[in-house]
Amino acid sequence: MVEVKALACELPAEAGLPFSRFSCLDIAREAIRRGIVASISGRTVWRWLDTDAIRPWLYRSWIFPRDERFAEKAGGVLDLYQGFWEGEALGPDDYVISTDEKTSIQARNRVAKGQGPVSGQPRRVEFGYERGGALAYVAAWDIRRAKVFGLCTPTTGIEPYHRLVDLVMGQEPYRSARRVFWIADNGSSHRGETAKRRMAKWHENAIQVHTPVHASWLNQIEIYFSVVQRKVLTPNEFPDLRAVEKRLLDFQAYYETIARPFEWKFTRADLDELLVKLAQQEQHQHKAVA
């Protein structure tokens, strides 16, 4: 049983097999071929694997941390979520904004009108559609006040980002705040030290803070974007881009009436524990290769 489970945890390609994922029958055949067992059924393999929740036919994508300053950058973002900056507690006139762009939002004009749900049948959306162009939604989320700001633009870039920053910073309480921290990824609209200097030039009390490279999961605005994707853009059934923009901005106004700060539980301590596990996994992989 142990050897069969170990086999299930291998990658088929490493065993010289011409497929990407094991099924229970694949494992059974390989176990017999290797002489691990004289005979075994796929059902028995499934039962053995199920005891340890091993499911080699499933997979998920992930990105291994590649930013050399991953711990430093991620730790700073997580500290802001917990109400700290550089070891000191944030004050009542400090604010934290999470921002990003949702790109290439299409207007799909369906060739036939959709139908609402009825008893025993879900909503029906016509498969065929005509393309009505695409736009970008640039948005910002105040993590402690649960307020959302946004605008729609033909494309992303420094100028649309500047407009969003001005939209937020031009109103209270941000205009008179002591500090407003802007958490963003490393997209071209707000990348690197240049973006930090540019932000300070736009507004003296605004501070650009970057997540590590390939770490969008640390940016709370992505949670809001997931809500937008589910509630506004799926299914995509819009006659034109004007309808897309109106729906996005109308939902933004509606969401503010029901929004609460996101319950963010992942802390710097959790990050440290995760990085230790990843380091151990990497060492294990190096040993296995050697």
Find the helix or strand (DSSP H, E) in which 258 lies: helix 241-258
Mean pLDDT of the region 218-223: 96
Beta bridge partners of 129: 110
Share of the chain above pLDDT 90, in %: 83
SS3 label, residue 20: coil
Looking at residue 94, what DSSP letter applies?
A: E
Half-sphere exposure of 161 (CA within 13 A, CB side): 25
Beta bridge partners of 184: 210
Other beta carbons within 10 angstroms of residue 184's beta carbon come to: 23
Tokens of 135: 């736009």
Cα–Cα dist 217/123, whole Å: 31
CA-CA-CA-CA dihedral for 164, 100, 181, 83, to nearest 10: 140
227 touches 255 (CB < 8 A): yes
Residue 112 pLDDT: 93
pLDDT digits (tens, 9 = 90+) for 8-24: 999 999 888 999 999 99
Tokens of 198: 């540019």
Averaged pLDDT score across all residues of the chain: 93
Mean pLDDT of the region 222-243: 96
Cα–Cα dist 257/251, whole Å: 10
pLDDT digits (tens, 9 = 90+) for 36-50: 999 999 999 999 999
pLDDT digits (tens, 9 = 90+) for 234-288: 999 999 999 999 999 999 999 999 999 999 999 989 988 988 887 777 776 666 5
If you count them, how many residues does the chain have?
290
